[in-house]
Structure 1
Amino acid sequence: MKVYPVAALFIGLTMSTPLLAQSAASDHVALPPDYKSGIHFSTFKRGGITEELFTAQEAIDAANAGEPFPEGTVVTMEDFREGSLYRILVMEKRAEWESQSLPGGWRFGVYWPDGQPNLSEDLQRCESCHASAEDRDFVFRHGDMLDD
């Protein structure tokens, strides 16, 4: 069996970067099953809400280099209410989404704690809110990724 360099590179990247998008053929934002194996880069508390944010090392590196997040970046946020996991929010960046979503090519997904899609969420609300973070490639907690 021949192994082609491009295939080997793809396999290597998908195995080494669990929080970069791995389902390019899909049009929806999937919940990465292994998102907690990425980098936990922020804990944000306000009132009874605690948000825990995760991403891949490549996203952290891009933020520190002052570059836009790379194609396939996924940021996952656990939303805790009064100490219990309420929902999981995911944003993913793909170039093919540039003309259909935020200028940065981001889309959003919301999941229940059991991993099932939360179809009652209005994802346009996510887009309109994140539009105000354009100077941070649409990621509010971008600054939390930066080295001190």
Structure 2
Amino acid sequence: MRGFVFGLITASALVLAADKSSSGPDEVSLPENYQDEFLNYLDVDHLDRKRVRKMYVNREAHAAAVAGEDLPDGTLLIMEDHDATTDADGNLVWGDDGRLIALDAITNIFVMEKNAAWTTANGHWDYAWYLPDGSPRPDASFDGCFSCHANRADRDFTFTYWKFVSDRKR
């Protein structure tokens, strides 16, 4: 009888494990045409890095997002890095709007995706890092993504988008 119960428990555990999708950067894809299809909800000037970060969210998730609640399954957040324009002496150049001027060239693309089938250290979020040509960065490490976003558990592990959703509802 004991062997039968152990076998049942083991079989149940295997069935449950088979139901879960594995996550990982290979599961987080870079959507084609995201610059046209997604909402560019924020640009962030990083003075210390001489960089401009453009933040995007897929429109379906944006339409379903509710202030104060976890973001909907299927949310895709993209952070696109651009070097800022500098003068001949390496000083930052400012636009008429008081913001840094981003160069057209992309230096890095980071994708954060929420999938309810995944279980990660950050809830159901996983991360990927892409090169400007859209190929995955081969030497990418995601420990920094997980550790940095971990301190935003109360904002569903996000920084700027959670705040954006909260602000738009006021």
Give your verdict on TM over 0.5: yes
Say whether the 8 Å CA contact 2:65–2:72 is kept in structure 1.
no
Q: Deviations over 1:42-67 (max 9, x none)?
A: 11111201110111234334544322
Partner of 1:90: 111
User: Matched residue of 1:126: which SS?
Assistant: helix
Partner of 2:92: none
Partner of 2:17: none
Matching residue's letter, 1:89: F
Say whether the 8 Å CA contact 2:122–2:157 is kept in structure 1.
no
Partner of 2:137: 118
In the TM superposition, residue 139 of structure 1 has moved relative to its aligned partner by 1.1
User: Matched residue of 2:31: which SS?
Assistant: coil
1:65/1:58 CA distance change after superposition, 3 Å:
farther
Say whether the 8 Å CA contact 2:80–2:108 is kept in structure 1.
yes
Matching residue's letter, 2:124: G
- The 2-side partners of 1:25 and 1:138 are apart by 19
- The 2-side partners of 1:57 and 1:33 are apart by 14
**TM-score (structure 2 length as normaliser):** 0.65
**Larger mean Cα displacement after TM superposition, 52-61 or 104-113:** 52-61
- Overall identity of the aligned pairs, in %: 34
Q: Deviations over 1:2-50 (max 9, x none)?
A: xxxxxxxxxxxxxxxxxxxxxx898521101121211111111112011
**Who wins on radius of gyration, i.e. which is larger?**
2
Say whether the 8 Å CA contact 1:62–1:68 is kept in structure 2.
no
1:74 maps to 2:95: no
- The 2-side partners of 1:61 and 1:104 are apart by 21
How many residue pairs end up in the alignment?
123
**TM-score (structure 1 length as normaliser):** 0.73
Partner of 1:43: 43
